[in-house]
Amino acid sequence: MQIPAGRTASLIKCAFCLGHRIMTIRTRFAPSPTGYLHVGGARTALFSWLFARKHGGKFILRIEDTDLERSTKESVNAILEGMTWLGLDYDEGPFYQTHRFERYNEVIDELLAKGLAYRCDCSKERLEQLREEQKAKKLKPRYDGFCRTRDVDPDKPHVVRFRNPEEGSVVFRDLVRGTIRVNNAELDDLIIRRSDGSPTYNLTVVVDDADMEITHVIRGDDHINNTPRQINLLKALGLPVPEYAHLPMILGDDGARLSKRHGAVSVMQYLHDGFLPEALLNYLVRLGWSHGDQEIFSLDEMVELFDLAEVNKAPSTFNTEKLLWINQHYIKHDDPKRIARLLSPHMGDLGIDPAEGPDLVQVVEAQRERASTLVELARISAFYYRDFEEFDEKAAKKALKSAAIEPLKAVRQRLEKLDSWVREDIHAAIEATVKALETGFGKVAMPVRVAVTGGAPSPDLDLTMEMVGREACLRRIDKAIAWIEAKT
């Protein structure tokens, strides 16, 4: 998809954009497709999306794929897949930077023609030597402007550098960090076109943000050093400067920047691990943003309450326990029919076809308080659908002792004879056994529970047994008796 050419052309020269950009909020998410959509990227996307949605604006997706060696189609797909799963829908795009090289070169040529950029053919050796000299003098390494006044042959190998202003400073009000001032003397004459003819990151971002009429650039604070450079480029081109909001970085629980080695950082990994998208979104929104001490936010509430002014400056720490807690909240409170639908593939992963057993919605209602993820919910619910291989060791040690043989046999006899397999009658059969054996309820119920469930967490025993079905219950009680007998 291309940006309409008319709008692009007029924007560069348009004197009225300022008025226009105040009217309509336009944000963007601009990932480089060099890996999956990770937690940090998803948080950036969410904040940009929320800000656009809150203000009735537009959210644009731009794929920054100019690094041809590291960008892959798989990664683009992974990013799109992650955004779809999270429900972060975009109004325009995806725009691919590799489709826009002509446009970037047009802008670079315009800068050259106006003397705002210049060709540079400094050799690697010269630049290396310069760096060494500057380092020796304890100066910040930067290009010395050697080619600023030279007339470099356009037909010989060269790069194009932006003529950064030498005087004054760049000041901008970051919506998270507050006012930031950088002296121009500290900024380099940035390379905007490499010797192979390809444009560089800061140039492409500036052209795109302007062409796409972005009003608010919301991105990770690893880009904060690029912002003054981008503002200088925008000003040189006579383009409006958007607002900027740099989001605090996310740390792992060891205090280091969140990375692969902290575990599941790919968004899609959370789907596979049994998280609900709304739980992950709710967790992500709290990474760097708060609204009083509220923890649970529906999507509508997020859109209503989100405010860049409430984004923290300080880094936030990823906390898996809290994510699990939020996920459990959504598993517990969501529509059980939806949970069952989302649970079904996880049952499939265990080789279980939910059609061959009790209604999965009923299982969700019975079990959902006991699991923090859908993977766990599937695991503790498998016994409703198939016999288990082994008893939980701890549960068996406690409940399946030789003293349990008599109650198990006695209750089995009564269960076998029941006219109907409903929880009330099952309960009565257990009570009658307790009475006949003159023992405590637990002495009968505990072994039966472990026999039927294998020791998995489960609700009321009579309900559990009704759902498991008579045939399976009797078979499992027999199996438990045989197991105890074999051990003693």
In whole angstroms, what is the distance from residue 254 CA to residue 262 CA? 9
Note whether 98 binds ligand GLU by CB under 6 A. Answer: no
Amino acid at 193: R
Task: Pick the stretch among 25-33, 277-285, 347-355, 369-377 that binds ligand GLU (CB under 6 A).
Answer: 25-33
According to CB under 6 A, which residues from 206 to 245 bind ligand GLU?
219, 223
Nearer to ligand GLU, 47 or 297 (CB): 47
Task: Pick the stretch among 24-32, 116-124, 142-150, 375-383 that binds ligand GLU (CB under 6 A).
Answer: 24-32
Identified binder of ligand GLU from the candidate list 3, 11, 27, 31, rule CB under 6 A: 31
The minimum distance between CB 228 and ligand GLU, in angstroms, equals: 13
According to CB under 6 A, which residues from 44 to 83 bind ligand GLU?
64
| Residue 285 tokens, joined | 């929104």
According to CB under 6 A, which residues from 269 to 308 bind ligand GLU?
none
Nearer to ligand GLU, 119 or 219 (CB): 219
In whole angstroms, what is the distance from residue 365 CA to residue 340 CA? 9
For 427-447, the DSSP string reads: HHHHHHHHHHHT--HHHHHHH
Nearer to ligand GLU, 205 or 279 (CB): 205
In this structure, what is the dihedral angle of CA atoms 363, 367, 373, 377, given to the nearest 10 degrees? -50
In whole angstroms, what is the distance from residue 127 CA to residue 141 CA? 10
The minimum distance between CB 199 and ligand GLU, in angstroms, equals: 13
- Contact pattern from residue 129 through residue 168 relative to ligand GLU, giving x for each residue in contact according to CB under 6 A and a dash for the rest: ----------------------------------------
In whole angstroms, what is the distance from residue 38 CA to residue 32 CA? 12
The minimum distance between CB 181 and ligand GLU, in angstroms, equals: 20
According to CB under 6 A, which residues from 32 to 51 bind ligand GLU?
32
260 is catalytic: yes
In whole angstroms, what is the distance from residue 363 CA to residue 355 CA? 12
Q: Are strands 191-193 and 117-120 parallel, antiparallel or unpaired?
A: unpaired
Identify the bridge partners of residue 26 per DSSP, sorted by sequence position. 58
Nearer to ligand GLU, 21 or 219 (CB): 219
According to CB under 6 A, which residues from 181 to 210 bind ligand GLU?
205
Identified binder of ligand GLU from the candidate list 11, 30, 206, 371, rule CB under 6 A: 30
In whole angstroms, what is the distance from residue 246 CA to residue 183 CA? 19
215 secondary structure, DSSP code: S
The minimum distance between CB 64 and ligand GLU, in angstroms, equals: 4
In whole angstroms, what is the distance from residue 107 CA to residue 415 CA? 83
Annotated catalytic residue within 260, 313, 397, 435: 260
Nearer to ligand GLU, 45 or 159 (CB): 45
| Residue 64 tokens, joined | 């920054």
Q: How many other CB atoms are found less than 10 A from the CB of residue 229?
A: 22
In whole angstroms, what is the distance from residue 293 CA to residue 24 CA? 31
For 167-216, the DSSP string reads: SSEEEEEETTTEEEEEEGGGS---EEE-TTSPBPHHHHHHHHHHHTT-SE
Nearer to ligand GLU, 57 or 357 (CB): 57
The minimum distance between CB 121 and ligand GLU, in angstroms, equals: 29
Nearer to ligand GLU, 48 or 453 (CB): 48
C-alpha distance from residue 232 to each of 116, 167, 227 (Å): 11, 12, 9
Task: Pick the stretch among 26-34, 288-296, 317-325, 339-347 that binds ligand GLU (CB under 6 A).
Answer: 26-34
The minimum distance between CB 236 and ligand GLU, in angstroms, equals: 18
The minimum distance between CB 349 and ligand GLU, in angstroms, equals: 32
In whole angstroms, what is the distance from residue 199 CA to residue 97 CA? 10
Considering only CA atoms, which of 100, 93, 67, 68 is closest in space to residue 79?
93
| Site residues for ligand GLU per CB under 6 A | 30-32, 64, 205, 219, 223
Catalytic (active-site) positions: 260
